[in-house]
Amino acid sequence: MGFIGLLPPILNVIRKMYCKPCNSNIGEMTEVTIPHTYKLLEKKSKDTAWINAALKGMKVLSEGNTVTAVTLKPFGPSAGYYSELALMTLTYSMPNDPLSPPTDTIVKFLPIGFDKRLILDLVDLPKTECIMYYHLLRNHSEHELPPLPIMSPKILYADYCPATNNALMIMEKINFTLGDQKKAPDLDQAKAQMLCLAKVHAYYWGDKHPMVSLPPSPL
């Protein structure tokens, strides 16, 4: 009987996934349409109109700088991941601008499988992840917050549509070796993970942390 309480949120998630509202896939923070699958982004990447609108909506381009070319290709198999990934290479009109965003990027889509997508949507992970990257990792100074105490990729685009639960992120490609999500980490990897988790927990510890005064998200 306890599972009956999950029925309304599950039906709400399914409604958002399969209904097509008039404002479908408009990002809450940038007001730019979200091409939430590889095929949609591939179509948008045939010219530079969408990527320029997206980066300008994120305010990551210097005045006068634009993206002049986009190369997109799949990242590889996504088994074991709750996301689909792609590689995106950007060329800028001002390549020597020190404020230019990264050239080599990773695009993160939501997973294709219904079961994975349902789990993510039920816990609002796509929304909270975009909010974290948009506000805490990019605009933390606007909220009088210190930088996050662990390394994180630069974010070029992160947005979420509350009408559909669709989301998309474009971030700096980090040239480090990743562990295998389907296998247990070795001892060194486990130690590094625990140290990073400890730093994050300490960063948000206590009810006097400045995060308490952060205004609620419009999402």
**The predicted structure's pLDDT at residue 81:** 67
Per-residue pLDDT at 159 exceeds 80: yes
219 in any annotated domain: no
For the stretch 185-204, pLDDT in tens is 788 888 888 888 887 777 76
Residue type, 3: F
Structure-model confidence comparison of residues 12 and 133, the more confident one: 133
Q: CA of 43: how far to CAs of 46, 87, 95, 145, 166, in Å?
A: 6, 15, 25, 38, 17
For the stretch 100-145, pLDDT in tens is 899 999 999 988 878 888 888 888 888 989 988 887 777 666 767 6
Q: Give residue 23's pLDDT band: very low, low, confident or very high (50, 70, 90).
A: low
Residue 20 has φ and ψ, to the nearest 5°, of -115, 85
**The predicted structure's pLDDT at residue 66:** 95
| Number of structural domains the chain divides into | 1
Q: Give residue 46's pLDDT band: very low, low, confident or very high (50, 70, 90).
A: very high
CB 70 within 8 A of CB 48: yes
Q: What is the pTM of this model?
A: 0.79
186 in any annotated domain: yes
Domain of 68 in residue numbering reads as: 2-213
**The predicted structure's pLDDT at residue 6:** 66
Angle at alpha carbon of residue 198, lines to 177 and 108, rounded to 5°: 45
218 in any annotated domain: no
Residue 11 has φ and ψ, to the nearest 5°, of -65, -35
DSSP strands (E only) in 63-122: 67-74, 84-92, 104-109
Residue 99 in 3-state DSSP? coil
**Total H helices, total E strands in the chain:** 6, 5
For the stretch 33-44, pLDDT in tens is 999 999 999 999
CA atoms within 13 A of residue 68's CA, in its CB half-sphere = 8
Per-residue pLDDT at 215 exceeds 80: no
198 in any annotated domain: yes
- What percent of the chain stands above pLDDT 70? 77
Per-residue pLDDT at 217 exceeds 70: no
Per-residue pLDDT at 84 exceeds 70: yes
E strand or H helix at 159, and its extent?
strand 155-160
**The predicted structure's pLDDT at residue 177:** 63
11 in any annotated domain: yes
One DSSP character per residue, 121-148 reads: HHTTHHHHHHHIIIIITTSGGGGT-PPP
Per-residue pLDDT at 51 exceeds 90: yes
For residue 105, what are the β-bridge partners? 88, 172
